[in-house]
Structure 1
């Protein structure tokens, strides 16, 4: 049988393609692949490359605020509390110690109960070592803040990509969110614990969702969840819970109950560490001014309005709200990104709601946090709703990224352009009406947004790439805000000394031993100038950096009796009447208060020129003020316009310990603090009362020759022990500290570790089973093909 050769047919002539007519009246204006690339991805073509580029861009942009204010990241709480305490923690770690309590820091030394210092978080501990090793608080602050801004931007990008937003769209919002008003001016500049919790929440979101889809090892969301919990920021923990609820809602809507179970497992493992982190705070509340039973109230403090949120694209809008020092915010706290509102008329919002079941969690996060942002000023431990605005903006940014991924709407282009113009004008007017004195700033900001929006509209109508313009606009607006609003004057500018070596050389001989500052540095700073006053009277916990054992420290959980007895504020300022009370017997002791506290240096901040205090001028018709007197046994070591320093002439007994008073009939033979600076060993004979100059935080334990004895607190809050009669050769009192709830926290953390290990092993087992099933199916198909 012959086989006919195939017929070779000449190829048909190609018809010339007609040139497509450009359209500007609908989504089809972007033909072919251009319809999917109107935003145009940035140079990298992979997620890893784009994330790296975004991280590099944000790391560079984070330095822009420093061009107009070099102390931008060493501001308010960061200067007064976080960096000084991290410096102390880092010093202890470098010396081989890890202490949940630093008794020498008094009211600011309960690191476990404060929680916000992140003493259980490995990255925070590394940052503490960096702070101690850098030798400069300012350098450490810049590095740490930049680090967490980068972590945040990568997390935002990953969340957007997890919801199938385009790479360019995800990159645009990922660059914008870290420089939104609250995140930059409050969290990054001051409240670093909030930034840490927020940054890790974004990573928990994308990793937990990807794990629920079976695309990621459960160890990853467990790790990010633990990073959230161990930062010690309750808002981060709240964010993890809200995100978990949103993801569970998505899975239930999709009918995937097994995914909810998987999410519950990894969330439970992460939350298992919360007892270790937060129980000391809850169980210490009885002696602090921070009560967990605060209830629900609304004083309007740091509560933005709905209208404030609608001005999220107005770079110069300064909302009115109850806050510190002023009746309005001195920075654009509710600003998000310049392009979001002007882009609203051009985006195809149908893409966002096209798959509602898979994206319901995004809307839930945005709605819940928006409602909370404009809610009561305090609910239980959570206060100041402005802190929640960045979580609401996170959900909104994901929605915007999804809308940006789709093809824009260019039909009725003139009407859309007019709508954009109206949005910009309204934002400018509201910015001016909120602060008429800022007219020039508002005009410049409105013109800047208007120019950027004009360029954006031109590119939209011509189908040209937009991503680089949106990022460039973010850079331009950030530069403008750095010049117009270089600092946040609603919070405290401590003008901190930041060079550790110079601070130590300055205070080496000036302040010796336990040091008490009498007076309020904030009051004197307003009179004499902050740099002059705070050179000798650093605010908050800054004296810790100089190696001074200061009794004045910044704290968020003030020890109630100590603070009231010394009329001390949360940042360490005191009333002037404390000076005379130091030299009188205390209310529940025959000893002077200065001796009970083992003071060796007293720094008196005078309310007026010292010569007027020493020799009050006679005023006709007014009683003569009593001249200031000096206590016996103390000498004046320095005298100037605003500071007087007294030093104890004779050394205190038991220089290696903390004993400050012994009753008649009790003899202390030796007193020594342990090498870690916490525990103490006291050898004695006789019997009676002994007082130890350290605050009686919950968690202290006392034993005499191995038997527990009761610890009591004095009126000022220091420890008091009534010792039983000593053994013939003398007895030993041992003081030790363990955070309250530590054993329970250890137990839950251990259960969490075992549970996490089980989750990971089950995941590997399931993957192996699926791989074997797939291999068997492939082998069966091959056999069937061979047989046929």
Structure 2
């Protein structure tokens, strides 16, 4: 066979393994739906992500990019929220599809499975860049999306976490091919842009780690060209990060995200003994969370193949040097996962488990590519079986009631390890058939088999399931005829899972589907003074006192708080108010449902955003008003020149023609017009805080892109096209272990 046909056959084999890994990942992901049809539609995906996508899609289809919504109150500062992905074209596509979708379950499930498949494709390419063979890269590609935290938390609920974990392998692969060689930086530029603009900080932190590692390694090697390329990659990422996260950082002082404390409450972090269960897909370990000291999900599960590690040792110095980036990420992720449960605004370090899985799976793929089958001996097989027995024993000690599932899994793993050793010796493998290919196929098949006991033990995520309707039309009919702006008071979590309850109320961001503006939405940045005043949590649920607060008279302005907010409808939950609340003057009960009381004003008020109170002797007329700006004509100025608007006093407001005063009640935007004259126009305008810096950062990032492309093109002209093969860490790629018995 000549070199060209061999090269063509190799490329075809590589493509087939890549496509197979992606399709198998989709198959395994879809298989979970047979046991739990709503597996990928729980908790935050139900009451957070879908409604957010729906609203964003609605705004985009009307030709607007949402910046601020006064009617949404603490959930309406969209650039500060970050995770709306306002600069992300992938999020836009998901959002537009959500707006067109008739079934939120089908839409969300489809998105999740596609991202799991995207993750597999990225892992495959990343493993290949570290010199793993096609078959073992496919194994890594299948294993990473099966990681316990990815499956049971990110994929089931926390969509932006899944999006980040799916993009990181692509970003890392793109970085390696553009920094370690002279290949086009476009894949890195595109993937990193999408990753950063998702607005979820955990993936960005991983990007920082891999960039710093790459820079340090290039500096140690005194490779000026790689240093320059890494600095360009870092500058691009840093500038985008500034543009995306600066509004949230500058808004944080008025939110519950403020503070830099480091604490450990043993909440969603692990310990070293927990990590001993990383090879068992049915072990819970002892990760504490909302349900106590143990969470009913395999959150620290990494891969069933971990006990194979002794069979793949030792590894050559060249392989170790090539895998330094993987060792660095693995070490840091291990330290983080077992570290404090909160470091400043960053909470729940188990959320880094997908990246620990990534480092482990790719490392094992590289090791297997260079050690299997030649390095397999009886002694190493014995050590692998002993490792399996030890880690299973420690896992059993942590969670004795799970002994049945642990035993079943251990037996499957033991037979799989023995079968791999058998394949390594070439027994019953036809001549001309790659033992690596057969072994990889077996490893992938076992990964799928182990999904079965996992789904038997854990058929769904431990996170809440609210039973949200599978019809957008049905949700659009909720509170459709209410007057003006509305707010929900009481326990919104009650009646979760009760289908009929959604005829009377929605939850979190699903309120965006209602024609009535409702302020009880989902936010990751609760406004501290506002949420404390109304005892409102981040999903819009309140205590019973919230109703009294709304109907109480503010001591400073003399108006009811509901008037200051421009609220005309109040939906009270019967779970909190079993007896009919007595409406105050000007309000009446208009309907009683099975789970709610609906109160409305006798005379509805204009909604949030406008002027709700002026000081004694001061009068103004609203000339123009939008979500982000209000223009006022001063008619008279009295002894008290204050003007209160029904808006949260967010950083980012600028007042022209007057001065900004201390916020009423600690959260209502207030203007002091004492220095104005009758006839003057006062303009109150909101822009995301730090907007000029954001614009400059985006412009500089575009400049960095252009400089990098120009330098890369010049360098390629000087050196010629890059050689084919795997992208390495700056050292030659030794041949993989021969596919013959050692």
TM-score, scaled to structure 2: 0.88
Cross-structure match for 1:471: 444
Report SS of the residue matched to 2:710. Answer: helix
Q: After the TM superposition, which of the residue ranges 66-75 and 756-765 deviates more from structure 2? A: 66-75
Cross-structure match for 2:312: 347
Cross-structure match for 1:334: 300
How many Å separate the matches in 1 of 2:577 and 2:537? 24
Report SS of the residue matched to 2:508. Answer: coil
How many Å separate the matches in 2 of 1:233 and 1:604? 33
Q: Is the 8 A contact 2:658 2:675 kept in 1?
A: no
Alignment of 1:564-603 (within 5 A): 564-603=532-571
Cross-structure match for 1:719: 669
Alignment of 1:220-259 (within 5 A): 220-259=187-226
How many Å separate the matches in 1 of 2:596 and 2:552? 22
Task: State yes or no: 1:100 paired with 2:67.
Answer: yes
Change in Cα spacing, 1:449 to 1:769, as seen in structure 2 (3 Å) is closer
Q: Is the 8 A contact 2:42 2:156 kept in 1?
A: yes
How many Å separate the matches in 2 of 1:478 and 1:647? 52
Deviation at 1:255, TM superposition (A): 4.2
Q: After the TM superposition, which of the residue ranges 366-375 and 458-467 deviates more from structure 2? A: 458-467
Report SS of the residue matched to 1:602. Answer: strand
Task: State yes or no: 1:76 paired with 2:43.
Answer: yes
Deviation at 1:771, TM superposition (A): 4.5
Alignment of 1:688-703 (within 5 A): 688-703=641-656
Deviation at 1:494, TM superposition (A): 2.8
How many Å separate the matches in 2 of 1:732 and 1:416? 82
How many Å separate the matches in 2 of 1:55 and 1:418? 33
Alignment of 1:719-738 (within 5 A): 719-724=669-674, 730-738=679-687
What per-residue deviation string (whole Å, max 9, x for no partner) do you get for residues 102-157 of structure 1? 22211111111121222122211222222212233222212222232222211111
Unaligned stretches of 5+ in structure 1?
1-40, 615-627, 775-788
Deviation at 1:405, TM superposition (A): 0.8
Task: State yes or no: 1:484 paired with 2:437.
Answer: no
How many Å separate the matches in 1 of 2:10 and 2:151? 27
Cross-structure match for 1:286: 253
How many Å separate the matches in 1 of 2:304 and 2:328? 24
Deviation at 1:43, TM superposition (A): 10
Change in Cα spacing, 1:448 to 1:222, as seen in structure 2 (3 Å) is same
Give the count of matched residue pairs. 704
What per-residue deviation string (whole Å, max 9, x for no partner) do you get for residues 259-290 of structure 1? 12211112212211111111111111121111
Deviation at 1:378, TM superposition (A): 2.3
Cross-structure match for 2:628: 678
Deviation at 1:672, TM superposition (A): 5.0
What per-residue deviation string (whole Å, max 9, x for no partner) do you get for residues 705-738 of structure 1? xx3532542115122223358766x454433211
Cross-structure match for 2:717: 768
Task: State yes or no: 1:262 paired with 2:215.
Answer: no
Task: State yes or no: 1:313 paired with 2:279.
Answer: yes
What per-residue deviation string (whole Å, max 9, x for no partner) do you get for residues 311-335 of structure 1? 2211111111321123201110111
Deviation at 1:70, TM superposition (A): 2.4
Deviation at 1:204, TM superposition (A): 2.0
Q: Is the 8 A contact 1:321 1:328 kept in 2?
A: yes
Q: Is the 8 A contact 1:64 1:482 kept in 2?
A: no
Change in Cα spacing, 1:169 to 1:771, as seen in structure 2 (3 Å) is closer
Deviation at 1:90, TM superposition (A): 1.2
Deviation at 1:409, TM superposition (A): 6.0
Alignment of 1:139-178 (within 5 A): 139-178=106-145
How many Å separate the matches in 2 of 1:635 and 1:315? 55
Change in Cα spacing, 1:513 to 1:435, as seen in structure 2 (3 Å) is farther
Unaligned stretches of 5+ in structure 2?
1-7, 430-437, 724-742
How many Å separate the matches in 1 of 2:720 and 2:688? 47
How many Å separate the matches in 2 of 1:420 and 1:673? 70
Q: After the TM superposition, which of the residue ranges 549-558 and 440-449 deviates more from structure 2? A: 440-449
Change in Cα spacing, 1:57 to 1:693, as seen in structure 2 (3 Å) is same
How many Å separate the matches in 1 of 2:634 and 2:34? 60
Cross-structure match for 2:324: 360
How many Å separate the matches in 2 of 1:580 and 1:324? 29
1:755 to 704, 709, 721: 704
Report SS of the residue matched to 1:326. Answer: coil
What per-residue deviation string (whole Å, max 9, x for no partner) do you get for residues 1-40 of structure 1? xxxxxxxxxxxxxxxxxxxxxxxxxxxxxxxxxxxxxxxx
Alignment of 1:259-658 (within 5 A): 259-291=226-258, 293-341=259-307, 343-351=308-316, 353-408=317-372, 414-462=378-426, 464=429, 465-489=438-462, 491-509=463-481, 511-522=482-493, 524-525=494-495, 530-533=498-501, 535-607=503-575, 610=578, 613-614=579-580, 628-652=581-605, 654=606, 658=610
Deviation at 1:340, TM superposition (A): 2.6
Change in Cα spacing, 1:231 to 1:54, as seen in structure 2 (3 Å) is same
How many Å separate the matches in 2 of 1:642 and 1:656? 27
How many Å separate the matches in 2 of 1:369 and 1:219? 28
Cross-structure match for 1:200: 167
Alignment of 1:47-126 (within 5 A): 47-126=14-93
Change in Cα spacing, 1:250 to 1:358, as seen in structure 2 (3 Å) is farther
How many Å separate the matches in 1 of 2:410 and 2:283? 10
Change in Cα spacing, 1:327 to 1:656, as seen in structure 2 (3 Å) is closer
Q: After the TM superposition, which of the residue ranges 654-663 and 96-105 deviates more from structure 2? A: 654-663
Change in Cα spacing, 1:708 to 1:230, as seen in structure 2 (3 Å) is farther
What per-residue deviation string (whole Å, max 9, x for no partner) do you get for residues 568-624 of structure 1? 1122111112222222212422001111111111111234784xx25xxxxxxxxxx
How many Å separate the matches in 1 of 2:264 and 2:321? 35
Q: Is the 8 A contact 1:159 1:205 kept in 2?
A: yes
Change in Cα spacing, 1:640 to 1:131, as seen in structure 2 (3 Å) is closer
Q: Is the 8 A contact 1:432 1:438 kept in 2?
A: yes
Q: Is the 8 A contact 2:475 2:513 kept in 1?
A: yes
TM-score, scaled to structure 1: 0.83
Cross-structure match for 1:7: none
Q: Is the 8 A contact 1:312 1:337 kept in 2?
A: yes
Q: Is the 8 A contact 1:693 1:718 kept in 2?
A: yes
Q: Is the 8 A contact 1:59 1:150 kept in 2?
A: yes
